[in-house]
Amino acid sequence: MSLKSERRGIHVDQSELLCKKGCGYYGNPAWQGFCSKCWREEYHKARQKQIQEDWELAERLQREEEEAFASSQSGQAAPSLTFSKFEEKKTNEKTRKVTTVKRFFSASSRVGSKKAEIQETKAPSPSINRQTSIETDRVSKEFIEFLKTFHKTGQDIYKQTKLFLEAMHYKRDLSIEEQSECTQDFYQNMAERMQTRGKVPPEKVEKIMDQIEKYIMTRLYKYVFCPETTDDEKKDLTIQKRIRALHWVTPQMLCVPVNEEIPEVSDMVVKAITDIIEMDSKRVPRDKLACVTRCSKHVFSAIKVTKNEPASADDFLPTLIYIVLKGNPPRLQSNIQYVTRFCNPSRLMTGEDGYYFTNLCCAVAFIEKLDAQSLNLSQEDFDRYMSGQTSPRKQESENWSPDACLGVKQMYKNLDLLSQLNERQERIMSEAKKLEKDLIDWTDGIAKEVQDIVEKCPLEIKPPNQSLAAIDSENVENDKLPPPLQPQVYAG
């Protein structure tokens, strides 16, 4: 079987990782294949369309009420009073229909506007002044110390960041998507503000944005990570259960070019698994991306050591899938969604962080849709493996290296023996059921044959024949016959 056919279910063309709109940035399955910039454009178009439809509906309702009012009322005074009430009702109706949209596009969501600054400074959030945790306090001090080097620009950055946190306190009732949009708008506004007003060089803007992201997301983490209003937790449990059911998948099935018998390669695999699991312990999206990047670099190193040549993209994705299956990272979907929603978009759209994160999203999507064809297995074998009835054959004892642990060897031998016994039991049960069915069919067949014979040749029971009459039975005068002769003895 050719290598291409073996990988038909795993191979991903590198062009498929890019934004499907053709802008050249990396796409994301969570954004339907768009990059962050194109997705926001599509998202805003959809929202504008919804706003337009809401206004058209409100205007249509207004016309209908006016026509109904004109046909049912007469006079001048009453219409004036009623029309004023109608205007109030119309305003309330429109406000109710587009409340979310107005709140999203309101000045309060644009931290960069002067009006928003004045309004929000009047009502500071009590959550900002609460007793912070040790980590939050540490990050706050680091952020302030970092901004001191930028003098006036640093003061403006701190002011805008604080206003944004206060604004987000009042927007916790919004959906997580709308909070994400507010955060992405803040990132964009701050980057533009530093370049236009502060005249900050682009390379320093990136460093400042990293510190801003670290500061605000450390404070917002517990409110926006896996919120109860989303189904992130449900997705976490689903993918975790799915990975557990796929514990039997071997590197050979995925065409993973990694030989874990090499100590150096085995250590790299362990480090890659550790990094992908560590992602859940981080609060800042950039730190979570750094875990994915470190994991991916260990994967590339393991492939390079195994093959003695640089790894290709076709080698990387199957190996990353194997790492995810072997590690089963906690809250995997929640972490992916969190990074997608609140990470600085420039990191997800370009660079190695964006490339590795896009591959991770592809790996998770492949695991969710993994089937028998993807692993070159028959549907029957795939179903048996998934149900736990059996497992693929493990390595035989002669294939083990001399330094392998005896306990591990014995464990795999026992697993093989259990697998064989399970197969024998299933075969015996199948043959027993077949024998039982054959006996039932044979009994039914014999009964049917007997019934057919009885129907064809019915049994007729005749009355018993009359007993034969004596020779002299017709002699009615038997009683007049002389007695029989008695033998007499004569003496001579």
Judge whether 205 lies within some domain: yes
Number of Cβ within 10 Å of residue 102's Cβ equals 13
Highest mean pLDDT, choosing among 88-102, 158-172, 478-492: 158-172
> Of the given ranges (28-37, 97-106, 152-161, 173-182), which has the lowest mean pLDDT?
97-106
* pLDDT value at residue 442: 93
Q: CATH number of the domain at 275, please.
A: 1.20.1050.80
Tally the C-alpha atoms within 13 A of residue 147's C-alpha that lie toward its C-beta: 23
Same structural domain for residues 218 and 256? no
Same structural domain for residues 161 and 181? yes
Quick: pLDDT tens for 406-443. Answer: 777 778 778 878 877 888 888 899 899 999 999 999 99
Distance between CA 242 and CA 173 in Å, rounded? 33
* pLDDT value at residue 178: 92
Q: What is the mean pLDDT of the chain?
A: 79
Contact 363, 320 (CB under 8 A): yes
Distance between CA 206 and CA 204 in Å, rounded? 5
Judge whether 477 lies within some domain: no
Same structural domain for residues 250 and 372? yes
pTM: 0.61
* pLDDT value at residue 333: 95
Matching residue, tokens 């604080």? 162
Same structural domain for residues 161 and 250? no
Q: How confident is the model at residue 106 (pLDDT cuts 50, 70, 90)?
A: very low
* pLDDT value at residue 341: 93
- Measure Cα distances from 286 to 79, 111, 251, 345 in Å: 62, 22, 30, 11
Contact 33, 20 (CB under 8 A): yes
Judge whether 399 lies within some domain: no
Task: Determine phi and psi for 434, rounding to 5 degrees.
Answer: -65, -40
23 Cβ contact partners less than 8 Å away, ≥ 6 residues apart: 35, 37, 38
**Mean pLDDT, residues 246-268:** 91
* pLDDT value at residue 436: 93
Q: How confident is the model at residue 89 (pLDDT cuts 50, 70, 90)?
A: low
Same structural domain for residues 375 and 334? yes
Same structural domain for residues 216 and 237? no
3 state SS for 376-437 = CCCHHHHHHHHHCCCCCCCCCHHHCCCCCCHHHHHHHHHHHHHHHHHHHHHHHHHHHHHHHH
18: β partners? 26
Percent of the chain with pLDDT over 70: 71
Judge whether 287 lies within some domain: yes
Q: Which helix (H) or strand (E) holds 7?
A: none
Number of Cβ within 10 Å of residue 287's Cβ equals 17
Phi and psi based region of residue 271 (left: phi greater than 0; alpha: psi -120 to 50; beta: remaining): alpha
Phi and psi based region of residue 24 (left: phi greater than 0; alpha: psi -120 to 50; beta: remaining): left
Last residue of a domain, which of 340, 361, 387? 387
Same structural domain for residues 353 and 235? yes
Same structural domain for residues 284 and 342? yes
Same structural domain for residues 204 and 263? no
Higher pLDDT pick, 89 / 19: 19
Highest mean pLDDT, choosing among 52-56, 116-120, 196-200: 196-200
- Measure Cα distances from 110 to 94, 128, 218, 228, 386 in Å: 22, 19, 21, 26, 51
Task: Determine phi and psi for 228, rounding to 5 degrees.
Answer: -70, -20
How many domains in the chain?
Answer: 3
Distance between CA 467 and CA 444 in Å, rounded? 44
Judge whether 280 lies within some domain: yes
Q: How confident is the model at residue 113 (pLDDT cuts 50, 70, 90)?
A: very low
Matching residue, tokens 């964006």? 354
Same structural domain for residues 240 and 336? yes
Judge whether 69 lies within some domain: no
Number of Cβ within 10 Å of residue 253's Cβ equals 20
Last residue of a domain, which of 192, 224, 256? 224
Contact 26, 19 (CB under 8 A): yes
Judge whether 103 lies within some domain: no
26: β partners? 18
Contact 224, 337 (CB under 8 A): no
The one-character DSSP state at 109 is G
Q: CATH number of the domain at 212, please.
A: 1.10.246.120
Instruction: Give the orientation angle of helix 263-278 with respect to helix 285-307, to 10 degrees.
Output: 170
Percent of the chain with pLDDT over 90: 41
Domain that holds residue 173: 134-224
Distance between CA 98 and CA 50 in Å, rounded? 9
**3-class DSSP state of 439:** helix
Same structural domain for residues 236 and 327? yes
Last residue of a domain, which of 372, 387, 402? 387
Alpha helices in 170-201 (DSSP H): 176-196
Same structural domain for residues 211 and 263? no
Higher pLDDT pick, 321 / 36: 321
Q: How confident is the model at residue 457 (pLDDT cuts 50, 70, 90)?
A: confident
Judge whether 189 lies within some domain: yes
Higher pLDDT pick, 168 / 49: 168
> Of the given ranges (6-15, 270-279, 363-372), which has the lowest mean pLDDT?
6-15
**3-class DSSP state of 308:** coil
Contact 255, 376 (CB under 8 A): no
